[in-house]
Amino acid sequence: MDAISVIRTKRDRGELTPEQIDWVIDAYTRGEVADEQMSALAMAILLNGMNRTEIARWTAAMIASGERMNFDSLSRPTTDKHSTGGVGDKITLPLAPLVAACGAAVPQLSGRGLGHTGGTLDKLESIPGWRAHLSNAEMLGVLDTTGAVICAAGDGLAPADKKLYALRDVTGTVEAIPLIASSIMSKKIAEGTGALVLDVKVGSGAFMKTIEDARELASTMVALGTDSGVRTVALLTDMATPLGLTAGNALEVRESVEVLAGGGPKDVIGLTLALAREMLDAAGLGDADPEKALADGSAMDVWRRMISAQGGDPDATLPVAREQHVVTAPSTGVLTRLDAYDIGVAAWRLGAGRARKEDPVQAGAGIELHAKPGDTVTAGQPLLTLHTDTPEKFDYALKALPSSYDIAPAGTDFTATPVVRERIA
């Protein structure tokens, strides 16, 4: 078999055979198929799609490329969550310790930023000393002692996905539904969690722009999980507007700590609690009260232990960008739209994301939001604050923002879209 024939099959809208899929995933993992060849195949999949049989086989091949984990030694039921990515989506940070505080074990394998969306590992690495990379034994130890761990997937867990994940980020193929579904579910199934809740974003700032595409992706992943014996449910959640009031690594960590301390934006709190209830219910802990665990400080206690266990200092001062630029409201009225995609692109251009898979990110770069849709703003008041260490990036970031918001006359009626739009099980 050879890479060119596999690429041609999908380029010409054919169905890949099980043998072709098994071969190309194995050969790419071993380095026999080059990045440029896998890039061409990924683009062909983006343009021409895959059927359910192909997706299931592709996912199985990704799992077979590495090891599978087992958490049977834990005394707690395991439950995990995965987000398809958004702007300002820092939910994992307060969610994992919150669910652990309610009695579950949360083995949260997370990733880095993809395109205009932020990555959980990039956010947490803004905490001095914190380590994303743990051995399987270290991961199990942190999980056993604290109840929650957030870390990178080990080199032995779906190594094919690790290579392909980074490649998709820099080749314009992130949005391919078959590749998103197989990437997420290969890691989660290999991870060995007993239950999984999927947060599938929909809107301008998500990879799924329409409710129909989000529903297709969610249904595909729920089926893959269920068929593999993992209790799986999905929530379709709104990503037309950034979550919370920050987009950027250290900025989002700071906001997450505010939520754990009993404050923070209402939309972040609401989605964190909604996902916590789903995770606990899937783990057989439906009687637990996550709202109480958030209010009484027990979730914060788990957060501090979890960060410390991975070498981080929960009391350390987080990085702050050296330069700021304020965008003011051009008129007085009601803010009716704040586009998540534009904010994400601007934050990425400021240094919060990466253009190449080997690029570093700026811990302090990003954007603060001073108003959300439905708020009344006054001409001249701060609307956004841009943060970066490299002020020459401001002009490039500002080019993403001129059409990123709408302000209607004062008194205009506004109805916000619910954060949770649908549930698929």
Helix (H) or strand (E) holding 408: strand 405-408
Torsion angles phi and psi, residue 374, rounded to 5 = 105, -20
Among 57, 82, 231, 277, which one carries the catalytic annotation?
A: 82
Active site residue 82: yes
What residue type is assigned to position 208 of the chain? M
Active site residue 213: no
Q: Helices 177-191 and 159-169 sit at what angle, rounded to 10 degrees?
A: 150
Active site residue 183: yes
Among 57, 116, 187, 201, which one carries the catalytic annotation?
A: 187
Neighbours of 13 (CB within 10 A): 10
194: exposed, middle or buried (Cβ count in 10 Å: 0-12, 13-18, 19+): buried
Active site residue 168: yes
Going by C-beta distance under 8 Å and a sequence separation of 6 or more, which residues neighbour residue 173? 39, 42, 43, 45, 46, 167, 179
Structure tokens at 174: 């992130």
What residue type is assigned to position 419 of the chain? V
CA 275: distance to chain centroid? 14
Torsion angles phi and psi, residue 416, rounded to 5 = -75, 145
Structure tokens at 17: 């055979």
Among 161, 169, 339, 342, which one carries the catalytic annotation?
A: 161
Sheet with 246-248, side-by-side order of all strands: 246-248, 366-369, 382-388, 323-328
Active site residue 354: no
Torsion angles phi and psi, residue 408, rounded to 5 = -95, 160
Among 162, 168, 188, 277, which one carries the catalytic annotation?
A: 168
Structure tokens at 413: 């009626």
DSSP-derived letter for residue 170 is: T
Structure tokens at 238: 């709104």
The residue count for the chain: 425
Which residues are the active-site residues? 82, 161, 168, 183, 187
